[in-house]
Amino acid sequence: MPVYNKLVRDLIPQIIEQDGKTCKTYILKVDPYITEVNRKMHEGWQSMKIPTMQKIQSRNWPIFWN
């Protein structure tokens, strides 16, 4: 079985099981969760246009990167 190590939202494991497949999930503790959310945000920012990314960073940088 492939390993994806992804953050998942509501009901995604149930949807996978309804398709007849199986998945294994676990709940992260706070520190690993924050690390994964930051990683996901970086992935999203890399796919955005540069001016949009700069606008988001200028508004949220102190919140996300303290």
Phi/psi for 65 (5° steps) reads -120, 25
Cα–Cα distances in Å, from 5 out to 52, 61, 62? 28, 26, 27
Q: What is the pLDDT of residues 13-51, one digit of tens each?
A: 999 999 999 988 888 898 888 888 888 887 776 666 666
Q: Quick one: pLDDT at residue 60?
A: 57
Q: Where are the domains of the chain?
A: 12-64
Better-scored residue on pLDDT, 8 or 49:
8
What is the per-residue pLDDT for 18? 95
Higher-pLDDT residue of 56, 62: 56
Give the span between the Cα atoms of 17 and 31, in whole angstroms. Answer: 29
Q: What's this model's pTM, rounded to 2 decimal places?
A: 0.53
Q: For residue 6, what are the CA distances in angstroms to 21, 38, 47, 52?
A: 17, 13, 18, 25
Query: pLDDT value at position 52?
Result: 61
